[in-house]
Structure 1
């Protein structure tokens, strides 16, 4: 599995969200309730970043596979007497 990498602007956005969260919630002792809040925070506000990144990765994979399939189909082309 490739490591997850974000473009610089996306990284800045995620870091800003985390900074905002800890600015709003300065409690450093993380018990079960604060841990659940942090989980909810990542689910609600960060989940879309990870979800979208996975969609971009899937699109790239599908594009590469379709290019390969297209190349394979062209190898099946039979010679004819007429020009195309």
Structure 2
């Protein structure tokens, strides 16, 4: 993903997500991650996985709006 299309996070949201990753590893895997490791995992998710979730959201929105437009067409007067 190029920089133009890269998902951008606020410092606060990024810190929150890093904290969540560290908590997950500690609670689920009993592994203590440092800031750098958690940050690298977050970067991987943003660059490699997030675009698929984003694209699915775009598709779902498109399908929803298409259905609503069909509803609008149903109120035509003949």
- Both proteins in one fold, TM over 0.5: yes
How far, CA to CA, are the matches of 1:30 and 1:55 in structure 2?
33
Q: Secondary structure at the match of 1:30?
A: coil
The number of equivalent residue pairs is: 48
How far, CA to CA, are the matches of 2:39 and 2:73 in structure 1?
48
Alignment of 1:15-54 (within 5 A): 29-54=32-57
Q: Counterpart of 1:58?
A: 61
Q: CA RMSD in A?
A: 1.2
Relative contact order higher in (CA < 8 Å, ≥ 6 apart): 1
Instruction: Return the structure number with greater helix share.
Output: 2
Q: Which runs of 4+ in 1 moved over 4 A?
A: none
Unaligned runs of 5+ residues in structure 2 are: 1-30
Higher-Rg member (1/2): 1
Q: Please report the TM-score for the alignment, with normalisation by the length of structure 1.
A: 0.52
Q: Counterpart of 2:71?
A: 68
Unaligned runs of 5+ residues in structure 1 are: 1-27, 78-84
